[in-house]
Amino acid sequence: MIDKERYRSLFNMTLREWKLYDHENIVFKKCHWMGIQIFKNPFDMWIYQEIIHRVQPDVIIEIGSANGGSTLYFANLLDCIKKGIVISIDVNRTDYEAKHKRIVEITGNSSSPEIIEKVSELCRDKNVLVNQDSDHNRNQVLQDLLNYSPLVSLNSYFIVEDGLVDIFEEPIKAGIKEGPLAAIEEFLKINHDFIVNKECERYILTQNPSGYLKRVS
């Protein structure tokens, strides 16, 4: 028998209530890509494939890969456009499971000069897109923005994930006093080559408010 009351109760949720429910019960527990856990909002994943098809990157830099679900997702999207590599930067490979011929693993801190130099060399003369999804504290996000934004190609993107932590209080904030939004705001004050593309937030339920930074000059 169809449980109509259950559907009614779900549809009566506010956007805020739904986002909290999604955060607590779905994103970090029940989302997988090809069998590997992925900590992403499906609405954002749809936007990513649109961006990748439009930008046609030679390189996707992923700062923070966790279990590798998103790394494999990016690699599979590159299969679709028949080009490119994913540079996976992470300090810890304990839970990482992704394997694909397009994935280049670089293990270490994204702020390390050696890591930055190695990534920069792989990106030389390439069309580059960056996705930041590691430490979400303001200082680290800002550091990644400053270090890796010069690699982003014209009309490509630096995507900063999980600015939602700056909007919702606990449990989403998870102890972060200042997060990605504070870093983005500071970055845009000193770097006028990027703008926030609000069109990428059209589904409203995004993890990345003001996080789709398009390079325009």
Residue 77 lies inside a defined structural domain of this protein: yes
Task: Work out the burial of residue 61: count CB atoms within 10 Å of its CB; fewer than 13 is exposed, 13-18 middle, 19 or more buried.
Answer: buried
Average the pLDDT over 83-110 and give the result. 98
Domain limits for position 48: 31-215
- Gap between the Cα atoms of 164 and 177, Å rounded: 12
Q: How far are the Cα atoms of 17, 175, 180 from residue 168, in angstroms, in the given order?
A: 11, 12, 13
Q: How far are the Cα atoms of 21, 90, 162, 174 from residue 130, in angstroms, in the given order?
A: 29, 14, 14, 24
- DSSP-derived secondary structure letter, 152: S
pLDDT band at 172 (very low <50, low <70, confident <90, very high): low
Q: H-helix or E-strand containing 33? A: strand 32-33
Average the pLDDT over 198-210 and give the result. 95
Task: Work out the burial of residue 47: count CB atoms within 10 Å of its CB; fewer than 13 is exposed, 13-18 middle, 19 or more buried.
Answer: buried
Candidates 152, 144, 147; CA nearest to 58 is 152
Give the CATH number of the domain where residue 49 resides.
3.40.50.150
- Mean pLDDT for the chain overall: 94
Residue 165 lies inside a defined structural domain of this protein: yes
Percentage of residues in the chain having pLDDT higher than 70:
96
Least confident of 10-19, 71-80, 170-179: 170-179
- The structural domain count of the chain equals 1
CB 33 within 8 A of CB 196: no
Residue 13 lies inside a defined structural domain of this protein: no
Residue 10 lies inside a defined structural domain of this protein: no
Residue 79 lies inside a defined structural domain of this protein: yes
CB 180 within 8 A of CB 211: yes
pLDDT tens figures, 24-83? 888 888 999 999 999 999 999 999 999 999 999 999 999 999 999 999 999 999 999 999
Residue 16 lies inside a defined structural domain of this protein: no
Residue 48 lies inside a defined structural domain of this protein: yes
Residue 15 lies inside a defined structural domain of this protein: no
Average the pLDDT over 128-136 and give the result. 96
Q: H-helix or E-strand containing 75? A: helix 69-81
pLDDT tens figures, 148-167? 999 999 999 999 999 988 88
Query: What pLDDT is stored for residue 27 in this prediction?
Result: 83
